């Protein structure tokens, strides 16, 4: 499994930055090769879409609609106009691209600390803002129902690929993977963001439980000349 390296001019972001690291830790990075890097994950996401050409795409983590959601929009406009995207978040996106084939579904969080871990410590949203906060104890099944309703409405039986960039805590990361495996067709293509951002728990979960697991075939974009902080995994 390999994605050909291409660059499309998407703005990179810096991960494991020295300033953030020094504020949080008093020890050296476990993965020094990932320290203070410009991360070209949006280029890698678009290159993956162009190469695999999925018709039905799932995104977890709409956020402000200006990052990966715009990458999917570009793919729908320029490569596969018949493709569809359903994007998930615990909060509505006011800047959702106005594209007829893009829909957002508001879902339940996977744990009670979500306003702190995913809401910038309450600066982006608070618990009372979340429409499905009360469903967190059974979040996978509840979200499966919510997404399946929208899939039925859009005529989608299964997704061809899923991009996971939601809350980065262990519960959310693992539950989102399980949710996406149930919603995607085999072989299950999952793009996992932040697998090299040591500041996030999902990075450590990926390296400890997924990267060398026999359950997944993993591609980490390490043959690219530009650094990519995410991973493409395939599960049968």
pTM for the model stands at 0.95
Secondary structure (H, E, C), 18-78: HHHHHHHCCCCCCCHHHCCEEECHHHHHHHHHHHHCCCEEEEECCCCCCCHHHHHHHHHHH
What does the DSSP assignment read for 225-236? SS----EEEEE-
Give the closest residue to 46 by CA, choosing from 17, 25, 74.
74
At the second CATH level, the architecture of 35-235 is: 3-Layer(aba) Sandwich (3.40)
For the chain, 236 residues long, give each residue's pLDDT as a single digit of tens.
899 999 999 999 998 887 877 777 778 888 999 999 999 999 999 999 999 999 999 999 999 999 999 999 999 999 999 999 999 999 999 999 999 999 999 999 999 999 999 998 999 999 999 999 999 999 999 999 999 999 999 999 999 999 999 999 999 999 999 999 999 999 999 999 999 999 899 999 999 999 999 999 999 999 999 999 999 999 97
């Amino acid at each position: 499994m390999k994605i050909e390296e291409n660059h499309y001019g998407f703005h990179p972001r810096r991960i494991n930055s020295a300033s953030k690291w020094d504020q949080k830790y008093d020890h050296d990075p476990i993965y020094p090769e990932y320290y203070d890097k410009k991360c070209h994950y949006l280029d890698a996401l678009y290159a993956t879409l162009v190469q695999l050409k999925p018709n039905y795409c799932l995104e977890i983590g709409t956020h402000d609609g200006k990052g990966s959601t715009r990458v999917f929009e570009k793919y729908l406009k320029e490569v596969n106009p018949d493709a569809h995207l359903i994007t998930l978040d615990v909060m509505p996106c006011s800047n959702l691209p106005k594209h007829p084939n893009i829909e957002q579904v508001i879902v339940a969080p996977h744990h009670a600390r979500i306003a702190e871990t995913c809401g910038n410590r309450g600066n982006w949203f608070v618990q009372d803002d979340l429409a499905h906060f009360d469903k967190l104890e059974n979040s996978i099944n509840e979200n499966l129902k919510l997404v399946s309703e929208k899939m039925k409405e859009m005529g989608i039986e299964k997704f061809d690929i899923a991009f996971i960039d939601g809350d980065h805590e262990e519960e959310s990361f693992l539950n989102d993977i399980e949710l996406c495996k149930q919603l995607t067709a085999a072989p299950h293509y999952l793009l996992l963001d932040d697998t090299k951002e040591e500041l996030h728990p999902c990075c450590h979960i990926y390296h400890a439980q997924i990267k060398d697991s026999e359950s997944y075939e993993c591609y980490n974009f390490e043959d690219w000349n530009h650094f990519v902080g995410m991973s493409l995994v395939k599960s049968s």
